[in-house]
Amino acid sequence: MQAVNKVKIKPPEGMQVRKQNGQTLNPDGELVVLNSYYRRRLKDGDLLLVEDKKAAKAAKKIETKGGK
């Protein structure tokens, strides 16, 4: 089974960016599955990666405990 990589992204200030399904992305950001569509938008600068402090803290905690 493959792990699903979800990230929080948002459009740059003053831009409207469409999600893969055609709807407009929330200006405050949304959690999405990181696929080729969103990777391309991030690479082009059309989207910004938002660091989720809670998720980063949880990942660091797991890392510190050795995944136990």
Residue 1 domain-assigned (yes or no): no
- DSSP, collapsed to helix, strand or coil, labels residue 4 as coil
What is the spatial distance between Cα 58 and Cα 55, in angstroms, rounded to a whole number?
5
Domain with 57 in it? 6-65
Assigned domain for 10 exists: yes
Backbone angles phi, psi at 26, to 5 degrees: -60, 130
Q: Is residue 25 part of a domain?
A: yes
pLDDT of residue 51: 84
Mean pLDDT taken over the chain: 85
Note the pTM of the prediction, 2 decimals.
0.70
CB-facing half-sphere around the CA of 34: CA atoms within 13 A: 15
Looking at residue 64, what is its pLDDT? 67
Q: pLDDT under 50 in the chain at which residues?
A: none
Two structure tokens written together for 11: 């459009």
